[in-house]
Structure 1
Amino acid sequence: MTPALDIAHSVSGQPWHWRGGVIDGLSGSFQPDDLVTGLLLSRGCARDEIDAYRTPTIRSFMPDPSIFRDMDQAAERIVAAIRAQEKVTIFGDYDVDGATSAALLIRLLRGLGLDAGYYIPDRLMEGYGPSGEALVKLAEQGSSLIVTVDCGAQAFEALQQAKDAGVDVIVVDHHKCAAELPVAHSLVNPNRLDEEDGAAHGHLAAVGVAFLLGAAIVRRLRDTGYFDSRAEPKLIELLDIVALGTVADVAALHGLNRAFVAQGLKVMAAQRNIGINALLEASRLDRAPIASDLGFRLGPRINAGGRVGKSDLGVRLLTTEDPEEAKAIAAELEHFNEERRAIEAAVTEQALELGKGQDNRSVALVSGKGWHPGVIGIVASRLKEKLHRPAIVIALDADGIGKGSGRSVAGADLGSAVLAAKDTGLLMAGGGHPMAAGLTVAEDKIDALAEFLDARMADDVTRARGERALQLDAVVAPGGVTPALVEALEEGGPYGMGWPAPRIATGPVRVIKADIVGTDHVRAIVAGEDGRSLKTIAFRAADTPVGQAMLSAGTTRKLWVAGRAKIDDWGPRPAAELHLEDAAWAD
């Protein structure tokens, strides 16, 4: 039976709690069905929803698109453009959610007989969201309808200029909205403050909202006999794109998003999208992808185009039908991703040094001249992970204008705080959602911004940090961490934001061997009391309490270790390993 495991204070200073009922795997007698049920229940799934969550389908979770404000009029306007063969441009953000949203609508419109164009702004030269100059230029080039995706909810001046130029603009977004909305033909966003039934779907990424718009378009065309003489496109075949954007944008994987990702992974495994296939090959993934691959392998490569390369590469890759072009674009993105990693490492080192002196702040805010704006979002994530609080990283240009990106912790709404800072005049621009935000700020207002955010978010951050604990799903003997266990745990997925991957504890163990590999990763072999061993790795942990504990334990002191069980793809045969997140002394 499981020995008592009561960790009140780990090496990283946090308690270990059970997420739900304890699953005893020490004897190796777990039953996959029982394990999956426990995982689902512990993540908030009601007992009467077990079947729907175990095998999430679009049919089970899909709402009627018409519940969203402006959805029907947006669909009607696009249908009119299809029938009249108008010139339509999809205006997308330069990140993965923007690229996938744009690609989804472009591929759908192609299937409906309209060859839409696209416009992706340059991150460095144009910044986030639609500018009036870009929208007016598209109108002058003949576009009578522009659809912005993953941007536009705060583009007041730009959309007014577009209206004055006589072009219709439909906004498809998911970012926080102000009480007043910009002028647009339609604004479809579950996070509108006046949204009612659709507000239950505020966790959707923009690509999910775009999919619902696609469903509304197809339904309208079907109702009016458009498919009497032509084949109806299969929206379901675009779910690989929806899954990629949803996971990469760190959207909560419950409800409809869960179905999007579960079904999208099946579509991806069928290899229907030439561009995604090329990206999988470039990332050297030779098995069917799982949800984490979308966030850690595919997403960063598509993002690299917008961060340090060409902003339209993602859309081009996801919409091409030419295998050779797809292979060339994927190779280019791989190159840009390597470049991004080098830039990111340099900025992260400087940002972490600046962040060390901010223990008294509820929000870590650092800035630097010469920092590459394309990597500040990733650096903010690194800062958040190290400091366990929201973090904002600002890159200042030669004119003293800062582009900032922030990441938050669960329970602390950074997007609302940034909008409030904008309303008080501290920001030139800003917006986001609870877990992430972007902003533009003058250098002379950075200190005031830091004070404002510190005061506004103090209570929420204090509460979130006070509730910080490592949540465990199972305790397993080292020898019980096997590929079979990993496969059983995956049955409770897909995992991601809002639906955390299972975390297991094992021990007591002795550290047989430990060393530092790669970029400060701590690799170790541990063994249980029965002598059976397990390979572990703690990423970017050489200077952390966890890494130091593994390196200093030797073969005499015993530890409990906790983390995520994964399949090691690099050996001659599949084996299981533990990706460490924490450790606690057992003696």
Structure 2
Amino acid sequence: MSTPLRWQRRALSHADLPSVPPLLARLYAARGVRTESELAMTLAALQPASSLHGLTAAIELLAQALHEQWRILVVGDFDADGATSTALSLRALRAMGAQHVDYLVPNRFTYGYGLTPGIVALALSEKQPQLIITVDNGIASHEGVAAAQAAGVRVLITDHHLPGATLPPADAIVNPNQADCDFPSKALAGVGVVFYVLSSLRTRLRDDGWFAAQGIAEPNMANYLDLVALGTVADVVALDANNRRLVQQGLARIRAGRCCPGITALLRVAERDIASLVASDLGFVVAPRLNAAGRLDDMREGIECLLCDDPAEAKRMAEDLDALNLERREIEAGMQNEAMAAMRELTISEENLPPGLVLYDRHWHQGVIGLLAGRIKERFHRPTVAFAPAQAPAYGEMPSELKGSARSIPGVHIRDVLDAMATKNPGLITRFGGHAMAAGMSLPSTQLAAFRLAFEETLREWVPPEAYDAVLLTDGELSASELNEQTAYLIRDAGPWGQAFPEPLFEGEFLCLGQRLLKDKHIKFSLCHPESNRVIDGIAFGVDRALWPNLKCERIRVAYRLDINRFRGMETLQLRIEAMLAL
């Protein structure tokens, strides 16, 4: 853990929140909340689906597919958003009476991302679908959609990624980020889009008398919100008011034990207390284990875990995913060491950093480069792209194609950067897509050096120098009287917290009464607020061993989050330290 270059308190702004406790009102206002209506976390407060462009055509297509019992194939993505979208689609469509519904997820190492012509050919040979539904992908799949339609297969695209200048010629497209879509929440994850589409289908079928005619119970779509919450948090989309409602409702169901056995099993294998689950547990505990299947092997393992209704079988699957995640962590650690060594060989230091970092190693694992890019981005606060061979090359040969994964910093829209590079340099990038903060791409290996130059040049043109200053935003100080378990519970229950709605981070000076090294990389502190005699535990993970432990430190300034430590039935306040400075 490195000390940030600059600590800065969040700007205070006005909000009309008369019934909210003063501390929460301050925290909410700093995150852009203006009225109490934005804090309503009920399902009734969700944005209505009616403004989703393309929804009517999508519902007509799906209703026809059910009435005529078409063979439906869901084509998903190999990450947690794609896995939850796929599992929700199969569970809901089957509950609505679809008798022939299956799924296919591209193996990233064989087919790559999205509805490619290769995946369409595989689908035709193995599944013979009459309708393909893409989930969490498809908005850039022009060739794949054309191949499916040439074979007489209808295509419904559900996606949330940013579209290009033209849209694929699908029968229907539902994506809140289409230029002509008025849906107010542009931050929906792929699983959120699918939830809206299938909820609208359920309403249409009810109005048609479908469920009564078929003699089946009308499904309660709220029962699938555990999957929606997991996919939304895992995909690190902005938690605007609408996404917070979806996540909060899903968390409530998981805490109450009303979730699919697969999620329960993944939480238990990670030894998490389900009753006190928070959004970050989905992002940092469940999602990595689910994602490990798509990163190292085949996402079918993760999807089958989410589809499984047998707790014992779900437990076995969760244990397999946990083992895969351990392997992924080992691979990632090795790649991080190699990346840092490469940075040193390039004589790159924090004093002479270029505006963007481009890293490649022929031995790197394609499924882990996104995580690697994220780690390097966090370490150096620069937009980072990590590349790996698309296919393992023969000994001594250069791979023909590279797959890249980009991670960005606030203020740098990485997909727009790639779009500008591709426009200015035809042939440089074969394919690309993504969001403001993350993107993926493919390019010929011969273009790697040109890509690095174009990346740095574009960033120099687009990004002001101050964007590269690492800033740690805090919510100011808490008084000694506020440092207690009640405040920690208040903040926990005021969430869900996450991307673009960050968990409160406080700062303050404390007396440092003791330090203890844990596992050679963490520090357990005994701290005391200067205006109190209460001793509070603090925990700092991954400390800089060149600086800590510091046995001379008697006073310390820390940036921390409030946490509850549970041990032997006792619950006590603990400060989760994000940054620290000896005074």
Q: Secondary structure at the match of 1:438?
A: strand
Equivalences for residues 270-419 of structure 1 within 5 A: 270-272=256-258, 273-288=260-275, 289-355=277-343, 357=348, 359-396=352-389, 397-398=392-393, 399-419=399-419
Shift of 1:577: 2.1
- TM-score of the superposed pair, with normalisation by structure 1: 0.89
Partner of 1:210: 194
Shift of 1:11: 4.9
Deviations 1:384-419 (A, max 9, x none): 110112111111242242111111112211122223
60 and 135 in structure 1: CA distance in 2 versus 1, 3 angstrom threshold: same
Partner of 1:524: 525
Deviations 1:239-292 (A, max 9, x none): 110000000000111121011011110111232311111111111112321100
Contact 1:512 1:554 in 2 (8 A): no
Q: Distance in 1 between matches of 2:481 and 2:11?
A: 23
Identical-pair percentage = 32
Q: Secondary structure at the match of 1:275?
A: helix
Q: Which moved more, 1:96-105 or 1:412-421?
A: 412-421
- TM-score of the superposed pair, with normalisation by structure 2: 0.90
Q: Distance in 1 between matches of 2:317 and 2:553?
A: 49
> 1:325 is aligned with what amino acid?
E
Contact 2:9 2:476 in 1 (8 A): no
Shift of 1:513: 1.5
> 2:522 is aligned with what amino acid?
H
Given the alignment of the two structures, is residue 14 of structure 1 paired with residue 6 of structure 2, yes or no?
yes
Deviations 1:224-244 (A, max 9, x none): 222334421111111110000
Q: Distance in 1 between matches of 2:551 and 2:481?
A: 20
Shift of 1:531: 4.9
Partner of 2:431: 429
Shift of 1:97: 0.3
Gaps of 5+ in 1: 1-9, 23-30
Contact 2:553 2:582 in 1 (8 A): no
Q: Secondary structure at the match of 2:549?
A: helix
Partner of 1:118: 103
Work out which of the residue numbers 158, 169, 173 in structure 1 matches 2:144: 158
Q: Distance in 1 between matches of 2:11 and 2:94?
A: 46
Partner of 1:551: 549
Q: Secondary structure at the match of 1:136?
A: helix
Shift of 1:457: 2.7
499 and 306 in structure 1: CA distance in 2 versus 1, 3 angstrom threshold: same
Gaps of 5+ in 2: 394-398
Given the alignment of the two structures, is residue 98 of structure 1 paired with residue 82 of structure 2, yes or no?
yes
Given the alignment of the two structures, is residue 73 of structure 1 paired with residue 57 of structure 2, yes or no?
yes
Deviations 1:458-511 (A, max 9, x none): 355435636643222241357854332211112321000010100111313325
Given the alignment of the two structures, is residue 227 of structure 1 paired with residue 198 of structure 2, yes or no?
no
467 and 345 in structure 1: CA distance in 2 versus 1, 3 angstrom threshold: closer
Contact 2:85 2:190 in 1 (8 A): yes
Shift of 1:165: 1.4
> 1:149 is aligned with what amino acid?
V
Q: Distance in 2 between matches of 1:174 and 1:464?
A: 30
Contact 1:393 1:406 in 2 (8 A): yes
Q: Which moved more, 1:258-267 or 1:526-535?
A: 526-535
353 and 535 in structure 1: CA distance in 2 versus 1, 3 angstrom threshold: farther
Q: Which moved more, 1:272-281 or 1:469-478?
A: 469-478
Equivalences for residues 75-90 of structure 1 within 5 A: 75-90=59-74
Q: Distance in 2 between matches of 1:535 and 1:239?
A: 35
Q: Which moved more, 1:339-348 or 1:525-534?
A: 525-534
Q: Which moved more, 1:282-291 or 1:326-335?
A: 282-291
> 1:142 is aligned with what amino acid?
Q
> 1:412 is aligned with what amino acid?
V
Contact 2:410 2:467 in 1 (8 A): no
Contact 1:515 1:523 in 2 (8 A): yes
- Count of matched residue positions in the alignment of Structure 1 and Structure 2: 557
Q: Distance in 1 between matches of 2:533 and 2:462?
A: 45
Q: Secondary structure at the match of 1:373?
A: coil
Contact 1:404 1:438 in 2 (8 A): yes
Q: Distance in 1 between matches of 2:466 and 2:159?
A: 28
Deviations 1:332-373 (A, max 9, x none): 101111111111110111123334517432221111111111
Partner of 1:25: none
514 and 16 in structure 1: CA distance in 2 versus 1, 3 angstrom threshold: farther
Partner of 2:117: 132
Shift of 1:217: 0.9
Q: Distance in 2 between matches of 1:318 and 1:131?
A: 25
Q: Pairwise CA RMSD of aligned residues?
A: 2.3
Q: Distance in 1 between matches of 2:462 and 2:452?
A: 16
Q: Which moved more, 1:330-339 or 1:283-292?
A: 283-292
Contact 1:510 1:528 in 2 (8 A): no
256 and 83 in structure 1: CA distance in 2 versus 1, 3 angstrom threshold: same
Equivalences for residues 508-523 of structure 1 within 5 A: 508-510=510-512, 512-515=514-517, 517=519, 520-523=521-524
457 and 222 in structure 1: CA distance in 2 versus 1, 3 angstrom threshold: farther
35 and 480 in structure 1: CA distance in 2 versus 1, 3 angstrom threshold: closer
Q: Distance in 1 between matches of 2:468 and 2:377?
A: 16
Partner of 1:256: 242
459 and 534 in structure 1: CA distance in 2 versus 1, 3 angstrom threshold: farther
Q: Distance in 1 between matches of 2:549 and 2:452?
A: 37
> 1:420 is aligned with what amino acid?
A
97 and 182 in structure 1: CA distance in 2 versus 1, 3 angstrom threshold: same
Deviations 1:171-211 (A, max 9, x none): 1111111111122111211122x22413x322111111111
Shift of 1:516: 5.4
